[in-house]
Every structure is written in structure tokens, then in C-alpha cells.
Structure 1
Amino acid sequence: MADELELLRRANPAPTDGPHFGDGPLDHRAERQLERLLHEDRPRRRLRLLPALPGRTPRARLVWGLAATAVVLVVAGNAVFGGPSTSRAVAAPRPLTVRLPSTPVPLREMVALADAAAAGGSPRLRKGTHVQSWSLGMSDGKHPVTVPEERVVRWRADDSHTELVVATDPRRPGHPVLTDEGDDPHEVADGHVISRTTYPPMWNDAPPEGTPPHTAARLRAYLTEIARPEINRSTAPLSTAELFDAVGELLDHWTPGARESAALVRLFAAAEGLRPAGEVTDRLGRPGHAYVYDTRGLRHMLILEPRTGAVLGMETTFTRAEPEYRVKAGDVMEYRAWMR
């Protein structure tokens, strides 16, 4: 009991010198200590994180081990895993690299492009999402692995919806894919259906299920509701980290139209520390403009469609090593690519 109490004290989410004062998320150190307390006696450390949908128990995005901001190691040298009688599945993707030479495009220019694209009013906002993710995971005594998944959520006119999750890696079509289905990572055929679920009609007007607005001011308020539970909600502007997290939740529920994308670009243009990096090609082969910001040993990259400003993807990589978890600087923690 004494050891557990000491771990709780060290996992204090509101230290006297901390920036959140109990009204925000745990810091990086506290998350690690709390995760150790909660899971150190379990044979497998795993926290499954996927966006909550109406009628479902909230789940966070697929990240194991350290609760939302700290996970695991990309297998060194883009290593591969697989059984002795199967083709070996590729491990974690390498970080996206800026194309050279390329000219970074300031976000104020992207605002003008997005506004012009939104003038025609098309495409329109659609409820539902189509997202490809690559997320890292670890288990005690085993090498960490990357799990690629594709998730499609479609809503019907009667407010019922379906969710399809498949194991697939667009970088290697037709090759075996690693999945965490059943807890232990193993290989399955490309396109293997992990789950196919139909949900009855339901309606909720609270974000992120409620319809997102298409003006920057109202969208900022909408995202603030996502980022901050009502009991802890403050009037302070969203931090860049909060903005990124909230936008990810939005995109895991909705496919923005041209007007919503333009409003998002305006919010990104006002985000502190977000700077243009240059041109990239995302993991689905799409050209985009990259914007990055650094925080707590992590680098977050936002990829925008060059003509419309629509969000194509987000990537998180480690900028410093975490030897305790065998994480190296440059390891990719998570990547999500959204499609129409």
C-alpha cells in the first residue's frame, strides 16, 4: 500500500509548479507514473483508444502503454515482424519528411485559399468518417509493434449508423497486416474485418456528435467543449495541443465541408507555435502542406490539402528519447489520415 500511495503522490496531476493546476491533463511524467500504478501488475500493458460514438462507451485513440501522450518505441530500423510461415508485416512508418526544395506556405495564405474554396459551398459537411491510422503498441517483454487500421463510419437518414474496422496498410496492399485483435499482436490477411457493427437510431446535440458550425468563432467554442469537460471548462483560449486533440475528435465523427475546413484553417492560423514546414506527401500518396509545433518531447505535424486547406492528416513523433520505454528521438507515435 505504501508503494502505491507513493506512486499516486508522484502522479499528482496538479503539482505546485505545474501549468494546469488540476484543470487540464496530466503532464508527461505524471501520466507515466499513473500508468505504471494502474497496469504494472498486468501481464499486458494496453490502453485502447478510439473515438467515442453515440451510444458507446468512450474510448481514446489506439495507443497502448502510457495514456494519451506517451507510448512506446518504433521498432529500430523499421524492423519487421511475422510468424515463421507467413510474409513478414512491416513495422512502424518512418516520420514524414518535408520535400526539398519546397517553400513553406504561411497559414495566412492558406486562410485565403480555403476561403476561396469555400465560396462555392461544396463539398458539404457529412456526418461520419473514413480514417486510416498507424498506432504504436507495446507489451511487457515483447517488442513494440505498429498496428494499421482503417475505420469507416456511415450514418443513415434514420440516425442509425454502421462502423467497419479492418486491418489494412495502404503502403503494402495485399500483404499481411499486424492487428491487436484478441490483445496479442498477430498477422492477418490484408483487409481482415476486425469488427462490423450497426447501431440503432440515436441523436445527440453535444460536441462532437452535435453538428459543427462553419464560422471560426462558433467552431472555436464547439472545439472548446470537446477539449474541456464542462466541470473544468475555463475561458482561456485553447492551447495548440488542445486544438489538435479537439480537431482530431471532430474529424473522427464528421467529414468537414469546404466552409468548416476554412473555419478550421482560421483557427490553425491563430494557434500559438504552429509554424509552416514545407511540402510533404502523406501516407496515402496525397500532396500537402505541413505545419508543426513542439511540446513536451513530442512534435505534432498537421497536413493540409494545398488548394482547400482541408485536414489530410496528423502525425506525432518523439523529439527526445525515453530510455525507460526504449523510445528514440524521431520515433513515430501515431499517424492518422482522413479521407472523404
Structure 2
Amino acid sequence: MADELELLRRADPVPADGPDFGEGPLDRRAEERLQRLLREDRPRRRLRLFPVLPGRTPRTRPAWGIAAITVVLAIAVNSVLGGSSTQRAVAAPRPLTVHVPSTPVPLKEMVALADAAASGGSPGLRKGTHVQSWSLGMSDDKPPVTVPEERVVRWRADSSHTELVVATDPRRPGRPVLTDEGDDRQEVEDGHVISRTTYPPMWSDAPPEGTPPHTAAGLRAYLTEVVRPQVDRSTAPLSTTELFDAVGELLDHWTLGARESAALVRLFAKAEGLRPAGQVTDRLGRPGRAYVYDADGIRRMLILEPRTGAVLGMEATFTKDVPEYGVQAGDVMGYSAWMR
């Protein structure tokens, strides 16, 4: 047996103590080959306005995933914006601009308007959403592009629901729409159905699937549970960034009623660093009041309906250049416009 083992050792073309195949660091050539293989296998990713919550299943629609803004920026630039392309974004929308002249309306005044609108109790809360979104798509070997999609989620009485995702851009009605369906960028006809899915009955009391409360205190606790995993949940107040992220996740599950919208405006009125900017017209042509928050190279804009305080939309925009990735200050990271 010893002789046979010795014969096998001699016949082994890759000896354990060989200098090129030992368990040590890769040489330069091997490193380059490994990086090339990783680039070939790496899937195309899309930057999303509201990052996916830790421990939650990603949706089938664009939305930028949830985390502190510093984490969002770091991941967006270092991981998702991987590659060395310096080409400019294709079909990227420009940031919303405030009308001039325009008188900013403090959020405290919006609280009074929202409370008055909620006094009648209508409209009511409804599970499901209707949202138009624009999200920045990046890949290693192609320039960044902005992908517009419309998503409609409707729930039935038996707790089953349907989700329809369509490629459409209301800024250019009837014109071909850029999509990255199947990880390939292509132009499709306006209104092209990307997916149509029916889900069986499902129930959950956990946010954001559970019913949101209509008081400010209750809604704050609800949104804290949305944005912070249970294992990491702290008693610290929600940061302004966390509030934006949690509200985006909430509105991708629920169409708020007047009372819930009023409670939400109260939370925004207490958000640190969120300031009134003036009047805007959103990407669906609706008039709104804009409120902005700047942090870590990103500007977030909240657009409220002027009479009721309902959230019409949210926008995230780069405020600093990232030239190595073809990103410039003013490029829109993502935008969502919610409808009833």
C-alpha cells in the first residue's frame, strides 16, 4: 500500500507543495483572470430610490433599496456603479426645479391643511399602490440609463393580489421606452407589459404589510419597525433619511387615506434638516409643495399635495460629481410618483 501511495503522489500533476497551486495569495495573472471572470458573471444592477429592507424579499419593480444615506451612497458608488465607464446617463430626467417666484410654505402650515382635509375622513386607506418610477440602471460595460416603469398593485377581498408592471414614460407619451427586462437594455413600445403576476392569499401584521396607524405616534413606531430590523432596532428617533426611506416603503404597499397622510405630515414637520423649497410641478404634471433635505452628497425632495398634504412623490439627486462613473451633480438617482 505504501508503494502504491508513493506512485500516486509521483503521478499527481498538481502537488500540494507546488509553488503555483498552494494555498497562498494569487499571483498577478491569476488575480486579473479572477477579476475578469467576476465581471463576466456579475449581473446588471439598477440603482433604486428606496433600498430593499434587510431581511425582506425584493419586489419585482424598481425602487432603490433601504439603509442610511451614507450606506446608500457608498454602495451605490462603490458596488452598483462598478466599472470605469465615463459615458453620461441616457434619457436621464433632470431634477425637479422650484418655480420662480415661489413662496415656500412651512410644514407647520401643511399640518393644519392636512388636519382640515382629514376631518371628513375621506379618502380612506387602501391596501395596494399605483406608482410611476424612474430608476438609474448601471452595468460594468454599458453607460448608465434611466428606466421608467409603472407599477399597479391591487388587493382582493380574499387577501390575494395582483401586480402589473408596465414600461411607460408619461413625459414622452406614445414614444418607445427603454427597459432592462431580462437584463438586456432594449426599446419597447409604450405600455409594454413587463410582468403580470397574481399572488395567492397572504396575511401579515408586520409593517409594511400590516395596516398603518393614523396617529403620529403610532405611525412613527410603525415606520421605525419598517426601517430598522428587529435585531438592530433602537429607541433613537428616526433620522430624516430613515423617515424618507420608510415612507417610500410604506407607499409602495399602501395608498394612504386622509388621516394617515395628516399623521405623516406631522412626522415630516419634526424631521431635522427638512426645509421648504417652494412650488413645483411633478413629473405627472401635478402641482406640489417641495421640501428638501441634503446629506452625504444626495438631495432628497418630498413633494406634497398643496391642499391635503398627501405625498405625491419623492426624488433623490446626486449633489456631487462622481466622474469615474459618468455621474454628475444633478443626475437623478431615482424618482417615484404615487397616484390613487
TM-score by length of 2: 0.80
Q: Paired residue for 1:150?
A: 150
SS at the partner of 1:174? coil
Q: Any conservation in 2 of the 1:128–1:254 contact (CA below 8 Å)?
A: yes
User: Deviation at 1:313?
Assistant: 0.2
Q: Distance in 1 between matches of 2:99 and 2:325?
A: 31
SS of the residue corresponding to residue 268 of structure 2 reads helix
Q: Which residue of 1 aligns with 2:15?
A: none
The letter of the residue matching 1:264 is L
Report the equivalent of 1:271: 271
Query: Counterparts of 1:61 and 1:150 in 2: how far apart (Å)?
Result: 9
Residue 139 of structure 1: how far off its partner (Å): 1.4
- Counterpart residue type for residue 141 of structure 2: G
1:172 equivalent in alignment to 2:172: yes
> How many Å separate the matches in 2 of 1:196 and 1:291?
35
Tell me the residue number matched to 1:139. 139
Does residue 222 of structure 1 match 2:242? no
Secondary structure of the equivalent of 1:182? Answer: helix
Query: Aligned-residue CA RMSD in angstroms?
Result: 2.7
User: Cα offset for 1:336?
Assistant: 0.3
Is the alpha carbon distance of 1:138 and 1:112 closer, same or farther for their aligned partners in structure 2, counting shifts above 3 Å?
Answer: same
Q: TM-score, normalised by structure 1?
A: 0.80
Aligned residues of 2:47 and 2:136 also touching (Cα < 8 A): no
Give the aligned partner of residue 45 of structure 2.
46
What amino acid does structure 1 have at the position aligned with 2:126?
R
Match of 1:329 in 2: 329
| Larger helix percent | 2
Q: Distance in 1 between matches of 2:188 and 2:250?
A: 30
> Would you say how many aligned residue pairs link Structure 1 and Structure 2?
292
Counterpart of 2:93 in structure 1 is 93
What's 2:20 paired with? Answer: none
| Bigger Cα displacement from structure 2, 124-133 vs 138-147 | 138-147
Aligned to 1:32: none
Is the Cα–Cα contact under 8 Å of residues 87 and 326 in structure 2 kept in the other structure? no
Give the letter for the 1:120 counterpart.
G
- In structure 2, the partner of 1:317 is 317
Q: Assess if the C-alpha contact under 8 Å between 2:136 and 2:334 holds in 1.
A: yes
Question: How many Å apart are 1:67 and its aligned residue?
Answer: 8.1
For 1:1-340, list aligned pairs within 5 A. 40=39, 42-47=41-46, 57-59=57-59, 61-63=62-64, 68-69=72-73, 70=76, 76=88, 91-340=91-340
After TM superposition, give the deviation of residue 45 of structure 1 in Å. 3.7
Deviation for aligned residue 1:57: 3.0
Higher relative contact order (CA 8 A, sep 6+): 2
User: How far apart are residue 270 of structure 1 and its match?
Assistant: 0.3
Q: CA deviation at 1:43?
A: 4.6
The amino acid of 1:112's aligned partner reads: A
Cα deviation for residue 323 of structure 1 reads: 2.2
* Structure 2 unaligned residues grouped into runs of 5+: 1-23, 27-34
Contact 1:74–1:331 (CA<8 Å) still a contact in 2? no
Structure 1 portions without partners, runs of 5+: 4-35, 81-90
**How many angstroms apart in 2 are the aligned matches of 1:129 and 1:330?**
28
Shift of 1:189: 0.4
Distance 1:105 1:191 in 2: 37
